[in-house]
Every structure is written in C-alpha cells, then in structure tokens.
Amino acid sequence: MSKSRILNGAEASRRHGVLAGTYAAAIMHADPLADAAVEALHAFHGRWWPMVLKALEEGVAAVPDAPPELAALVASLPPEPTPEEWEKMVRGSAAVARAGDSAGLVLQCASLMIDYWSPPAMKPLVMTGTLQQQPIHRLTQTNAWWIELHRQGGLHSKQDGYKTTVHVRLIHAFVRRMVRGSGAWDRAAWGEPINQADLFFQVVGFSKLMIDSLQRMGYRFTAEEKEGYYLFWRHVAALLGVEKVLLTSVNEADCGRYWDLWMLTNPGPDADGIALARTTLEAVAGVGNPSPAMRRFQLWLLRGATYWLLGRDAGQRLKVRWTTASFLLPLIYKPAVWASEVFAKWRGVDRGQAAARAIRKLALGNAALGVVPEGTQVVSAPERLEALAKFKPGAPAS
C-alpha cells in the first residue's frame, strides 16, 4: 500500500471499512495484461493499432504475427452481456445521452475537471506534457469516445465504441511504459501510474458524477435507468481493464462511497492541477475562435458551471475564478430542462429517439472542430505515441 499518497487513512477505514482497504491496495495495481501486450506491440511501432483492430474485428487467428501477449489480452476481454443486460444498458445510456449538450457541459466542467484534484493521478499526463500542450485535444478526444460509446449499439464488440475503449486501455499502458522508463516516477509515493484506483475514479466521474450533475440540471431518471447506466459503465470498466474486485462497486451506493474516499484521502490540487484547470476552461471557451466578448462570456459560464456542478470547495481548491453564473445557472437551467422534457413527452418522443438526435448533434459539433476524426482513431494516433516514446519529464507548473 502506498501510505505516503493516502491522507486520513484511519478516518477512511472508519467510514468505509473494506472498501477503503480495497482502494488503498488498488493504488499499487496497474493492468498486467495490457502492459504485457504493449511491451510486445511496441516493436511494431505505428503498425500496432491496425494489428489490434484486425484482431478485434476478425479474431487473433487472422493476424499471423500477433504476439501471444495480444492474444491473451483479447481472450481476457469481457463476454457479451445477456439480452436482458443489453436492454437495461440501452435504456440507461439513452436516458443520459438524450441530455446532449448538457452532458457535454458535465464532461467539461465536472467529470474531467475533478481529475485535477489528485496530483498523483495527474502526474502521468503532466510528465508527458499531454495536457499542457493540448488541453482541448484531450477534451475533444474524450468527447469523441463518449459519443462513440453512447451511439445506439456502440458497446457491441464490432462497433467503434467498443474498439475505441480497448484503444484507451492500450494508450494507458503505453503511457505507463513511458513514465516508468523515464526514471522520474516515484512508485512508493504515487503508486502505479494510471493505477486501478485512479482508473476506477474516472469511471465514477463518467457514471455517478454524470447522473448527479444532470439531475442537478433538472433531468429526471428512473431507478431502472440509473441501474442500467451503472451496468453500462460496469461493462466499459471491464473493457478498460478495471479489476473484478472493483467492478462490483460500479453501482450508485459504492460509487458514492468511492467519491468520498477520493476527496478524503487525496491531498487536493497542486500547482499543476490548478494550472490545468485554468488552461482547460480557457481552451474550451476559445473553441471555434469566438470573438473576444463571446470568449469572455463562455469562460464566465464555464467557471460558474464548475462551481455549480462540483461545489464551492472544489472550485475554490482548484482556484477557478468564481462567477455569478454559479447562481444564475440553476435558476435558468432547471426550468428550461423541465420545459423541454414536458414538450418532448407531449410530442411523444421517447428517450431513444432523443438520444440518437443528441448524439448526432454532438458528433457534428465535434467534427466541426477538425481536431479528431470519427471512429476507432478518436483517441490518439499511433504517431503521437511514438513521438512521446522518448519524452523527458516536463517542468512543474509555475
């Protein structure tokens, strides 16, 4: 267990018992199957992803030069859900996806922003310079992945949402390989890079924080829809390589406890996290090269949304400048959402139709930025990883 990273350990154990110990142990666990596959795939340079893609689409037997480590990874991927599970997952993902731009706002101002809370969790991306160089690139890539996942049937094994999730898992392993090889990683102090605990917290951000934030905005979900959405993210988490001992905790109650553990035991944002929060919001406000006045307005709105969705303490600790939008957004947003929901119900639009329309709109908006292509290349081109292979750890934020 990495004691130097965990604060308030006794209180965490008192509040959460076994889950606190599971969380602490997970900090020292990575993803051995993906790590072994990447170690073997690295020799193929830019050809590694087409090889993996063919193995996913046609089976490992269709790739004569596939290393056994890749075969082991593919064989370990979770089985297809049952028809009953698919039905629940589709219902839950459609209920969230119908929120469209609102879900995008949650991703930008909450689900991804809260990652900056933990300095050890962010160190791999800080060290590689990924976030300092292109904060908007990470956001648009994550948006594109989210879109692919939430397309109708996007999690089926032949669809881009599924394949791209495997891509994300391998990219995590590539980054771990780079960081470990740098000689600058302090495992005793920070745990494994992109470890199981940090990976699970990202799942919490995409599931519980998403649902809670949308409910705060005025969207309503049935108990069945929420259960289906957690089941959806449990399957995504399994594809991402989350350990089985943690997969059972992808539910509303345990994700809430995990959120409390994260906020209690992590030291809070450092200079890097604060700088990344600032540059991320500024980058999002500048998307599409708006006029200076519109950019200022969008930044005012995004800062307010961060306080509204994450709370005053998180906003202040991340040193996001407070704006009156944090008060105005609830007054405006909730009635607007309520009216749109009533109108959709009156028109007889079901949530599946609303989700499909919202996903199409989000995809068009993402494509208009010209930053990331559609499909299985939405995460990171192999060339980007090759360029990072010889990175030097970046200087801390000033």
Q: Where are the domains of the chain?
A: 3-30+77-388
DSSP string over 217-269: HT----HHHHHHHHHHHHHHHHHTT--HHHHTT-SHHHHHHHHHHHHHHS---
CA 118, distance to chain mean position in Å, is: 15
Q: Where are the alpha helices (DSSP H) in 311-349?
A: 312-317, 325-347
State the amino acid at position 386 in one-letter form. E
SS3 397: coil
Dist. CA 186–CA 344, nearest whole Å = 53
> Hey, what long-range contacts does 132-137 have (CB within 8 A, 24 or more apart)?
132/275, 132/276, 132/279, 132/394, 132/397, 135/276, 135/279, 135/280, 135/283, 136/280, 136/283, 136/284, 136/286, 136/287, 136/371, 137/371, 137/372
Question: Residues 176-202, buried b or exposed e (16+ Cβ, 10 A)?
Answer: bbbbbebeebeeeebbbbbbbbbbbbb
Residue 372 contacts residue 366 (beta carbons within 8 Å): yes
pTM: 0.90
Would you state the torsion angle of the CA atoms of residues 124, 125, 128, 134, taken in this order, to the nearest 10 degrees? Answer: 180
Tens digits of pLDDT across the chain (398 residues): 445 688 999 999 999 999 999 999 999 999 999 999 999 998 887 788 889 999 999 999 999 999 999 999 999 999 999 999 999 999 999 999 999 999 999 999 999 899 899 999 988 878 876 555 566 777 777 888 898 899 989 999 999 899 989 989 998 998 999 889 888 899 999 999 999 999 999 999 999 999 999 999 999 999 999 999 999 999 999 999 999 999 999 999 999 999 999 999 998 899 989 998 998 899 889 877 789 999 999 999 999 999 999 999 999 999 999 999 999 999 999 898 888 877 777 777 677 777 777 787 777 666 555 444 444 454 444 444 444 334 333 343 33
In angstroms, the Cα distances linking 63 to 53, 60, 68, 120, 195 are: 10, 5, 11, 38, 30
